[in-house]
Structure 1
Amino acid sequence: MRALRYLGPKKLEIEDMKEPVPGEGEALLRVKAVGICGSDVHGYLGLTGRRIPPMTMGHEFSAEVVKPAEGSKLFSSGDKVIVQPINFCGKCENCMNGYTNMCLNKKFFGVLTEDGALAEYLAVPEKLLYKLPDSCEFEDGALAEPYAVGYGAVKKAGDLKGKVVLVIGAGTIGLCILQLVKIREPKMIIVSDLSDKRLETALALGADAVVNPSKVDYLEALAEMTGGKMADISIEAVGVQATANQSIKSLKMAGTSIWVGMSQKEMQINMQDIVVSARSVLGTFNYTHEEFGEVVDILGSGKLDTRSLISARVTLGEAPEYFELLHTSPDDLIKVVVDPSKKEAAVQ
């Protein structure tokens, strides 16, 4: 089988590899759609230490079952599935308490040394499979993972009906969060980003207002948009010092900020902005296995606009070019979806 191998910073090559042999409880899958995540791009650049070569990236994916796990009563050959990529043990303290995303023994497909889905075939524990809703295509299923990241944050925000919600960051995760907030009937959704092009997409997906901090006084603009009341909830999906502080300062008293982004490990925060105004800051990381299933159900409901997020559909051989484009021209692309089962067109 063909696989796109990460061999070092900015080095991706197609290699012929042996088709995986499923172990106990595993199904053999033919991969049909894989989203390139921002973290994959950072891994491609060699910036994070979270992709250790040689390995195969890809953790946002959907597939077709080639061979179900032995004795399976849940899946059959030909079934269309979405894969929840956090392989949790189910036995540690965190798993027993429902925090499968915090599993002490977890392996994450396409991360560190665990080969992922940018390959024609992959063997996956059947417990990680969800059936692709009948109303969805494979490319829709590949977006379940970024939506699940956003869903974990939105769920922590609680009841949003009638509230003013600020989403900071209009990349893939921020735009997923926007859509998930929208279906919870807030009073207003404001989206903040430095890219006017991404803000245009946010407006098209249902944002009530947008703000570019590089062009206006940020807090004055928010005050004007909210009649001086500021935001009940902010969801930070960038993860740098400037936006983290914005997420706190933009809140009304006793407001709550949910932090998703983590691009910068350490930063300075004015504690008085939190303590004196009795504001709360909550961190969120990925999603539980149960939450992922809830997102699959939402996808099936048709309430999410997946297609507006997909900027390009490419083959495995075309993928290296798009890794570079996602790095050099991030404003031009939101989500690139790779189909490893599709061959490149022959040169005439």
Structure 2
Amino acid sequence: MTMKALVYTGTQEVEYRDENKPVAGPNQALIEVAATAICGSDMHAYHGLDERRVPPLILGHEVAGKLITGAPHLVGQQVVINPLITCGKCSPCLSGRANLCSDREIIGMRLEGAYAQYLVIDETNLLIPPAALEPWVACLTEPTATALHAVALVERVGYRPLSEQRCLIIGGGAIGLLTALILAAKGCCNIDLAETNALRRNTIEEQAVARVFDPSSEAVPNANGYDVVFDCVGAGVTRAMASEHVVAGGILSHVGLQNSHEGLDIRRITLQEITLLGNYCYTQADMQAALDMLAGDRLGDLKWVQLRPLSEGAQAFSDLHHGRAAAAKIVLQPDHLL
């Protein structure tokens, strides 16, 4: 049997076409996909910059859907997918930090992803959202968990509560905006956000959770620096910006993964005892907490999300590539659900 899928076929190329419908193996679940969001890592692959994602490949890992087979007590229910597959036996897994598992995999990287009508995943990777939660909202659980994980690491090492911190977020994509929304939900009221795309700046300003500015033409609003800087881009220029504007004794949270080269001022980080935090994905606890935040309407009106048919996925990727999308997040849905 076949299904419709959006397939990454080469640099800046994705194709909507027929693919073989996946078959669930032992202890796996077959999911009918209801919504899959486009992640920055999918764009990284689209640009031909991720050697781990080799075309042809179905990308996509931010997903919600309905259980068709597997986990008999859940058949027919709406589910959210934890796309991170881990061994469950190593020290990080057993200590609750499965995101650091040395055998970790994530769908849409080497394994087929969720820009498709159907998806297969281990039964242990299922979360159950409230029945009333729309799938396009539920699929935001994964990026929300990524931002929540970054904020949680800062909370763990910070000297003062977040509500007292001056925070700078670099990058106004979904992770950057979600970080701002989570900080605001935790009582932080001094948040600045740097974003070069004017369309996205307008979208973020409508959320009224941060002072938004263009770092390519404007100085940072707080000339005295920031207690916490979240680099949600992860490029040389943004690492340099983060290194410059974090205060002595502050925290630099490196979340983005655009490249791994220049930018960090290691000498300053050392001499001024700046804490550098790496962030990778999330734990199962982060996923559940993120789902709870979304279900509890704690992250605003979500008007920064745009829904598009899966068949128009190539245009969505192109719009993101050319900076034509005002939405911080585009969610693709199988055509028959729209």
Tell me whether the two structures share a fold, i.e. TM-score over 0.5: yes
Greater shift after overlay, 174-183 or 102-111? 102-111
Q: Which runs of structure 2 are paired with 1:200-219 in the superposition (5 Å)?
A: 200-218=202-220
The alpha-carbon deviation at position 88 of structure 1 amounts to: 1.1
Q: State yes or no: 1:276 paired with 2:252.
A: no
Partner AA of 1:156 in structure 2: L
CA distance in 1, matches of 2:285, 2:148: 11
CA distances 1:158-201 after superposition (whole Å, capped 9, x unpaired): 03122211111111110011101111111411111223332333
Counterparts in 2 of 1:300 and 1:191: CA distance versus 1, 3 Å: same
CA RMSD of aligned residues (A): 2.0
Aligned to 1:285: 280
Q: 1:79 aligned to 77, 80, 89, which one?
A: 77
Q: State yes or no: 1:257 paired with 2:255.
A: no
Contact 1:143–1:306 (CA under 8 A) maintained in structure 2: no
Contact 1:170–1:193 (CA under 8 A) maintained in structure 2: yes
Counterparts in 2 of 1:169 and 1:10: CA distance versus 1, 3 Å: closer
Aligned to 2:43: 41
Counterparts in 2 of 1:242 and 1:45: CA distance versus 1, 3 Å: closer
SS state at 1:267 partner: coil
CA distance in 1, matches of 2:167, 2:267: 22
The alpha-carbon deviation at position 135 of structure 1 amounts to: 4.2
The alpha-carbon deviation at position 47 of structure 1 amounts to: 2.1
TM-score by length of 2: 0.91
Greater shift after overlay, 331-340 or 137-146? 331-340
Aligned to 1:109: 107
Partner AA of 2:76 in structure 1: G
Partner AA of 2:88 in structure 1: G
CA distance in 1, matches of 2:116, 2:330: 16
Contact 1:20–1:121 (CA under 8 A) maintained in structure 2: yes
Structure of higher CA gyration radius:
1
Aligned to 1:127: 124
Counterparts in 2 of 1:309 and 1:332: CA distance versus 1, 3 Å: closer
Aligned to 2:334: 340
The percentage of aligned residue pairs carrying the same residue is: 29
Contact 1:120–1:341 (CA under 8 A) maintained in structure 2: no
Query: Could you list the runs of 5+ residues in structure 2 that have no partner in the other structure?
Result: 156-160
Counterparts in 2 of 1:18 and 1:264: CA distance versus 1, 3 Å: closer
Contact 1:94–1:103 (CA under 8 A) maintained in structure 2: yes
SS state at 2:336 partner: coil
Contact 2:150–2:279 (CA under 8 A) maintained in structure 1: yes
CA distances 1:19-54 after superposition (whole Å, capped 9, x unpaired): 322212112111000101122122123222232122
Greater shift after overlay, 204-213 or 180-189? 204-213
SS state at 1:161 partner: helix
Contact 1:31–1:121 (CA under 8 A) maintained in structure 2: yes
Partner AA of 1:305 in structure 2: G
Partner AA of 2:117 in structure 1: E
SS state at 1:157 partner: helix
SS state at 1:342 partner: helix
CA distance in 1, matches of 2:249, 2:337: 54
The alpha-carbon deviation at position 331 of structure 1 amounts to: 4.8
Number of residue equivalences? 331
Q: State yes or no: 1:150 paired with 2:140.
A: no
The alpha-carbon deviation at position 214 of structure 1 amounts to: 1.9
